[in-house]
Amino acid sequence: MSTPDSNQPVGEATHNVYEDPAVQQEIRDIAEVPAVEVINTAAVHLMSAAAIKCGLAASEDAAELKDLDEARKLITALAGFVTAAAPEIGSQHAGPLRDGLRSLQLAFREESSHPDAPGQGPGEKWTGPVN
């Protein structure tokens, strides 16, 4: 049975996860990481996933892992993310991310059986046409 204010069963003690020493240590660890590193890590995860979905995995089953519908979503998200983050992280960090994004956009175009019109490809709303 739950109370009207929560989904916590009546009679069960509530445990604040933030009181756990392991969680407190993880929070301290995250607090020490500069924002630019968190942004770069997130971008690299998006890039890696998009590359796999474009069929660029370095494995024998790369073709089986290809899913251009999913790649389009990931590349578009990456483009918006990099575009929004660039002014905050500076050109030293944004440049390589933009280069990786452009490479993915070109790879997507090459893998597409019916390439998008210039300016209509994944992420091109944010980056402009990619040739």
pLDDT tens string, the chain, 131 residues long: the values are 545 555 655 555 567 888 888 989 988 888 999 999 999 999 999 999 999 999 999 899 999 999 999 999 999 999 999 999 999 999 999 999 999 999 999 999 999 999 899 999 999 999 999 98
Q: pTM for the complete prediction?
A: 0.81
CA-to-CA distance for 81 and 3, rounded, in angstroms? 40
CA-to-CA distance for 127 and 78, rounded, in angstroms? 10
Q: How far apart are the first and last CA of the chain?
A: 60
